[in-house]
Chains A and B, each alone.
Chain A
């Protein structure tokens, strides 16, 4: 493509016109000698520029299409203009220093720049700067190529976010385990009872995590949560006919899943020790409905034990009742009532219905 403007017409009256002309001649020589390579440089998807090493500010004497596409400039806006200035228009001062060092050869590090385009969008690129020498070894030009790393940066940022989030969950889970341990030690003296109390709750947490992981932490159906929570209490084998679940499979968000998972474990543990599952005749009915209210829909869940041994209210509130009445109501912004009726424990949980409850 002879005659194509590699130097902006605007530059004709530039005081550095002589230098520009000389640089232009050099590129033309270059083009003649290395024709296919110049075409390759023009067409490659890697952004590239040549700058004049003998003029102030590294004027750009060649910029390929990929460079124009990457930076968003027109060819006339970069050709003949200072590379330093073109970079200064969008890169940060530290990056400019690194670029300067790469040009004068005082560093072997390839600068990584974040460049803000005129339209406000950004790209990240590694810049590889190489000197171009003449026969005597004098640096006459610089060649700079840009590897676009924006996609990589976005991936890195998203990986970092996931790791931070995971770390946050792990730390909260450890705090929960700390709480479980403290409560177990406070409420029992027998090592076997302490171990059982800690293990049972850790396994309950673990089951809720499994359920959530299977759904990519997008939420879990209430029906599925209850089945998983009751499974270790032999509901699936043996006590199944003494246990009913009645309600649509409302999808609960992760927070409610974890909180209700712990709460159901407390209720079931109590039922096996003292309630409807401590004899051969008792039964438990769990049912729920979604009901309208003045402040939006509510999920009303009822745990109803019957035909167990006669119930008397415990003399002191244990951790289970604390979790139910204080913890669950607090975390899920609801009302929880736990009644030790003579005929069996009745627990009702009244919480805001999850956003997509209607779809369940």
Chain B
């Protein structure tokens, strides 16, 4: 099976531990072995400075604060990302309105579909001998 996440490095910004453990599980099932997690925007920004990510997933609300600063940093480095949120009536504002959003709770399939859309042909082509 094609696996858009194989060999990809993913950043997950999520402050609730149980939700994070679930995401890590789903991502592992999708073949993503490199998942780095941050519970706060500050930590996520540090990680973005230090490491290169292929994809990121951001909970919009981190203990009452938005993760938009992280979205800005990711956009500046050209890293594709998606939002997740427990709010039904969220407002991403002008800047992020066209970014994909997963409303909690969501299925593995919904997450996989967005990831595939964000990482379409970017998968390295197999090298022919």
Contact = CB atoms under 8 A, between A and B. Distances in A.
Interface in B17-52: 17-22, 25, 37, 39-40, 43
Given A175-B104, A175-B105, A330-B37, A168 B18 contact: no
B19 A175 contact: yes
Interface string A304-341: 00000000000000010011001110110100000000
B16 A175 contact: yes
A327 B18 contact: yes
Contact of B17 (A170, A171, A174, A330): A330
A176 interface: yes
B98 interface: no
A118 interface: no
B70 to A, nearest CB: 16
A171 B21 contact: no
Contact of B15 (A169, A174, A262, A331): A331
A255 B88 CA distance: 21
B72 interface: no
A323 B16 CA distance: 11
A205 to B, nearest CB: 9
Given A323-B17, A327-B17, A178 B22 contact: yes
A84 to B, nearest CB: 33
Contacts, number: 77
B115 to A, nearest CB: 18
A179 B40 CA distance: 21
B55 to A, nearest CB: 19
Interface in A245-260: 255, 259
A171 B43 CA distance: 24
A182 B17 contact: no
A186 interface: yes
A174 B86 CA distance: 9
Contacts of B19: 172, 175-176, 179
A322 B17 CA distance: 10
Nearest to B37: A330
B94 interface: no
Interface string A151-185: 00000000000001001111110111011101100
A57 B76 CA distance: 53
Interface residues of B, number: 22
Given A172-B16, A331-B39, A183 B21 contact: yes
Contact of B86 (A172, A183, A323, A327): A172
A179 B88 CA distance: 20
B21 A167 contact: no
A164 B104 CA distance: 14
Interface string B83-113: 0001111000000000000011100000000
A171 B63 contact: no
Interface in B65-91: 86-89
B87 A330 contact: no
Given A168-B61, A176-B16, A322 B87 contact: no
A164 B89 contact: yes
Contacts of A183: 21-22, 25
A300 B39 CA distance: 20
Interface in A200-259: 255, 259
Given A331-B16, A331-B17, A171 B39 contact: no
A142 B82 CA distance: 55
A180 B21 CA distance: 9
Contact of B88 (A167, A174, A186): A167
Contacts of B61: 168
B39 A174 contact: no
A186 B25 contact: yes
Given A164-B89, A169-B86, A174 B105 contact: yes
Given A174-B104, A182-B22, A333-B40, A167 B87 contact: yes
Closest 7 CB pairs of A and B: A327-B17, A179-B22, A171-B86, A331-B17, A176-B18, A168-B86, A179-B18
15 contacts: A164-B89, A171-B104, A172-B16, A175-B16, A175-B18, A175-B86, A176-B18, A179-B18, A179-B22, A322-B21, A323-B21, A327-B18, A327-B21, A330-B37, A330-B39
